[in-house]
Structure 1
Amino acid sequence: MSSKDWISTIWGEIATLEYGKSLKDYQNSKSDIPVYGTNGLIGFTTKSLCKFPSVIIGRKGAYRGVHFSNRPFYVIDTAFYLKPKIEKLDTRFAYYQLLTKDINSMDSGSAIPSTSREDFYNLELLLPPITTQKRIAQILSSLDEKIELNLQTIATLEAIAQAIFKEWFVDFNFPGATGEMVESELGLIPKGWKVGRLGDILEIKGGTTPSTKDQKYWGGNNFFATPKDLSNLKSPVLLSTERKITLDGVRQINSGILPVGTLLMSSRAPIGYLAITNLPVSINQGFIAINAKEYSNYYFLHWIKENIEILISRANGSTFLEISKSNFREITCILPPTDLFQKFNLIDQSILEILINNEKETQNLISIRELILPKLMNGEIEL
């Protein structure tokens, strides 16, 4: 259908923003009605406020999101929900349409940042016929469903790998275990195992930030990672960075360009963001970069997850805790025999390969969605 059939209108002509209501005891509820606040899903309850699938729009707070529930839901008083005024408005289409708007710019001017209903109602949009709305929503929701499936697969595989690691290397229920234990500085360990110092078994490096005042260091072709790049990862795989630096910038960093497969761990604010790099990368001072001399970097990613409290206990700092490279090097760990590690590594590396491929596909799907979303919403792509 041609975009000539679309009409120009404003949100106030086709929908209203309904206020959420206060609610208690939703955070630990075992019920099945989702509860939404300004930033999305926050719990569950027994009774819905909105009886139909619709859009949730943040009302209060510095960041106010746009979310969709495909079933009846409850909204607390920090958010609105969208109620159509016309029959020919598909709420899932409305959700995708609103993703193209900057909700956080519609501020009422109160002390607490709040979404202005008046500004919202004056927002302009192009509204296609209902059949086109549904087709657009179906295309975009199919992409989102595939993205969500990939994320669920990633989470499941991560949990499996971590569970095997714990079973074998923490609980000592590994293949061929005899139960024979010997004393060590870390307590009883299986016979044939050993204790090692991280500084002896890992190559450990740090980074720095080239001067942001000197533009010759910035905007090149070399990836430059900060802990922020790891903060929103859905899998422990780093495929890109927000910033890039020039070769002059790389030369300001003692660790230079780290190879693909390096394990990055944020060393402060907070300690413990983790990722395996899938690209050559330079790092800032917020990381400890790890390359194992024996075993594998993914093995030590699991080890850090299991022992994060030990790392935090070795941290110092008044403003925020930071674990130094020297303190990290002095930590000791229990190490399995090589043959047992190799059995684990066959499983672990297979999982890591799937994680990398799934993450790449997910990022490609997200890029496609971001590319076509505005084009679908303005009729540039005709269906």
Structure 2
Amino acid sequence: MSVSEWREVRLGDLVTFQRGHDLPKAEMKEGPYPVVGSNGIIGYHSKYTTEAPCITIGRSGNVGNPFLSKCKTWAHNTTLYIKEFKNTDPIYIYYLLKTLDLGYYAVGSAVPTLNRNHIHPILISVPESIEEQRSIAATLSALDDMIELNNQINKTLEEMAQAIFKSWFVDFEPFKDGEFEESELGLIPKGWRVGKLSDVGEIIGGGTPSKSKPEYYSEIGIPWITPKDLSINKNKYISRGEIDISELGLRESNARLMPKGTVLFSSRAPIGYIAIAKNAVTTNQGFKSVVPFENISSEYIYLLLKNSINEIESRATGSTFKEISGGEMKKVPIILPPKEIIRKFNEIATTLGKTQASLEDENNILMSIRDTLLPKLMSGEIRVPVEEVV
């Protein structure tokens, strides 16, 4: 086993940043190359500006956040991209950038902007040996690769669940040989009926305890979820948001404690974020959540809501932003199959859901390990012997 010496250098000694290239939406031609902006991939184009790997950081808008593209890429002018790696491992540099608060160097109040000349002089400590850089990068990449694999499996499972739901309850493919009858929603299998969303679950709104009362909030209290939490957490299953409320906050507000399995549905700003509660939760007033009735699975409600987004949005009102009211949410029309059909679907959907929830839990652990190791590896507090890298 061996480790190299570390040296203090300027960021510009390791890489050269270049401003990205303008590409108006109207000039974007469909192609294989991702167009990366300050928030990640914003489209695809027929041409590229950088070879793989392409590392960008947000230049304006979402400033400073690094993004790694492992293929040829068009770096948009809302980014700075690395034009030259100076005897450094690109993947190591990507992880190094994640430890730097590059947003601190942005200038401008209305639209903060990052200038490459302001970040090139940043002093940092790095391994002298490129082999140790690769060792560090390999350790962190192994964790990210496992996370990505789990994400891909979950994406496939979700596509399967949605395809089965559509086949059964939209296209009626397993029931084509049976009789059909007219309804206000078109032809449906005989024995099925048209109902309302309130026929499969209780619709519950939320509330916000007064922010002027600190005693209404708690570091570790009752989970309280906002639409912002679902914009950050893309998982299908959720246990809590960024903020918890206290028992007192729950009692003194319109928030309601809802059971495990409740399907959270954002009713405004925007309409349509959906997640399933892994435990008892509350929400703010930006939700119209659905507590499934007996013999109705959370996964069935989740997929039903996803398939009903357009109908729900059409019932929303408001001038500043659209919002679906609790009354309108209850009246959303749905096609109700016989209980036995729902039971069979529940068996399939809940089996897929349990696997998805398990993989999401595994990813949470892997991300925690990665985020704990990242600053320690990048500071040299933990060293990775080169020989141990597979």
Counterpart residue number, 1:240:
240
Where do residues 161-310 of structure 1 align in structure 2 (5 Å cutoff)? 161-174=161-174, 176-219=175-218, 220-254=220-254, 256-293=256-293, 294-310=295-311
1:34 Cα offset (Å): 3.1
What letter matches 2:358 in structure 1?
N
How has the CA–CA distance of structure 1 residues 361 and 29 changed in structure 2, closer, same or farther, with 3 Å as cutoff? Answer: farther
1:64 Cα offset (Å): 4.3
Where do residues 80-91 of structure 1 align in structure 2 (5 Å cutoff)? 80-84=80-84, 86-87=86-87, 89-91=88-90
| Aligned 8 A contact 1:253 1:282 in 2 | no
What letter matches 2:365 in structure 1?
N
Distance (Å, rounded) in 2 between the aligned partners of 1:133 and 1:62: 28
Distance (Å, rounded) in 2 between the aligned partners of 1:189 and 1:67: 48
Secondary structure of the 1:287 match is coil
1:134 Cα offset (Å): 0.2
| Aligned 8 A contact 1:239 1:360 in 2 | no
Question: Percent identity among equivalent residues?
Answer: 41
The 10-residue stretch of structure 1 (352-361 or 99-108) with the greater mean CA deviation from structure 2 = 99-108
Distance (Å, rounded) in 2 between the aligned partners of 1:355 and 1:14: 40
Q: Does 1:361 align with 2:380?
A: no
| Aligned 8 A contact 1:32 1:45 in 2 | yes
1:183 Cα offset (Å): 2.6
Partner deviation per Cα, 1:249-307 (whole Å, 9 max, x = no partner): 12124553211111111111111111110021111111112112242222121111111
How has the CA–CA distance of structure 1 residues 112 and 53 changed in structure 2, closer, same or farther, with 3 Å as cutoff? Answer: same
Distance (Å, rounded) in 2 between the aligned partners of 1:43 and 1:310: 28
How has the CA–CA distance of structure 1 residues 253 and 353 changed in structure 2, closer, same or farther, with 3 Å as cutoff? Answer: farther
How has the CA–CA distance of structure 1 residues 336 and 29 changed in structure 2, closer, same or farther, with 3 Å as cutoff? Answer: same
Counterpart residue number, 1:317:
318
- In structure 2, list runs of 5 or more residues that go unmatched: 385-390
How has the CA–CA distance of structure 1 residues 106 and 338 changed in structure 2, closer, same or farther, with 3 Å as cutoff? Answer: same
Distance (Å, rounded) in 1 between the aligned partners of 2:122 and 2:26: 33
What letter matches 2:310 in structure 1?
E
Counterpart residue number, 2:350:
349
Where do residues 77-156 of structure 1 align in structure 2 (5 Å cutoff)? 77-84=77-84, 86-87=86-87, 89-109=88-108, 112-128=111-127, 129-156=129-156
Counterpart residue number, 1:57:
57
Secondary structure of the 1:43 match is strand
Distance (Å, rounded) in 1 between the aligned partners of 2:76 and 2:110: 20
Q: Does 1:379 align with 2:380?
A: yes
How has the CA–CA distance of structure 1 residues 285 and 27 changed in structure 2, closer, same or farther, with 3 Å as cutoff? Answer: farther
Partner deviation per Cα, 1:156-204 (whole Å, 9 max, x = no partner): 1111101111111111112x54341123333321111122232343212
Q: Please, what TM-score do these two structures have when normalized by structure 1? A: 0.92
Distance (Å, rounded) in 2 between the aligned partners of 1:264 and 1:302: 12
- In structure 1, list runs of 5 or more residues that go unmatched: none
The 10-residue stretch of structure 1 (63-72 or 206-215) with the greater mean CA deviation from structure 2 = 63-72
The 10-residue stretch of structure 1 (41-50 or 316-325) with the greater mean CA deviation from structure 2 = 41-50
| Aligned 8 A contact 1:26 1:45 in 2 | no
What letter matches 1:131 in structure 2?
E
| Aligned 8 A contact 2:39 2:62 in 1 | no
What letter matches 1:168 in structure 2?
W
| Aligned 8 A contact 2:57 2:63 in 1 | no
Counterpart residue number, 2:33:
33
Secondary structure of the 1:36 match is strand
| Aligned 8 A contact 2:258 2:291 in 1 | no
Q: Please, what TM-score do these two structures have when normalized by structure 2? A: 0.91
| Aligned 8 A contact 1:27 1:42 in 2 | no
1:118 Cα offset (Å): 2.3
1:71 Cα offset (Å): 3.3
Distance (Å, rounded) in 2 between the aligned partners of 1:288 and 1:45: 39
Distance (Å, rounded) in 2 between the aligned partners of 1:27 and 1:91: 30
Distance (Å, rounded) in 2 between the aligned partners of 1:366 and 1:372: 10
| Aligned 8 A contact 2:3 2:132 in 1 | no
Secondary structure of the 1:44 match is strand
Counterpart residue number, 2:336:
335
What letter matches 1:107 in structure 2?
A
Query: Aligned pairs, how many?
Result: 381
What letter matches 1:345 in structure 2?
N
